[in-house]
Amino acid sequence: MNSFTRSRLLPFEAIVIFTIEKSTSSLPVNLTNFFSESSVIPSKSSFSQARSSLCYKVFKRLNLWVVNKFYSQKEYKKWKGLRILSVDGSTLRLPDHPSLVDKFSQHAFGASKTVKHWMSRISFLCNRCADGSI
């Protein structure tokens, strides 16, 4: 797939970062805020088309990178000999794409539960190092 090999208004990095950001606002408001310093603010449709080109493996690799960074850190800060960790989690709405059928679950929304979206749980594990850095 060559979706991100050319120079585009919506580069790969921007789509990934925008997708993993937590927000409670509508998509147009989020796009306007996220791309406020850019010369062009993408439409909902152009963002959705670009996002549909992302493979779920991008997020698996990002997770692997975070885990590797986590375990390559310095000595950990401990309390009574135990490592102290904190976890933050959220729910991520995924694009409507056939490749998600075997990997994720679909959930119904709305008053009559007629609108369905692919959803996934995400989480981030954090610890504090002995020098105080995270």
**Secondary element (H or E) of residue 64:** helix 57-71
Q: What is the pLDDT of residue 5?
A: 53
Range of weakest confidence among 31-35, 83-87, 107-111, 124-128? 124-128
pLDDT attached to residue 99: 83
Which residue carries 């959220």 as its tokens? 90
Rounded average pLDDT over 95-100: 82
Read off the pLDDT band of 1 (50, 70, 90).
low
Percent of the chain's residues with pLDDT above 70? 82
Interval 102-115 mean pLDDT: 84
pTM of the full predicted structure?
0.49
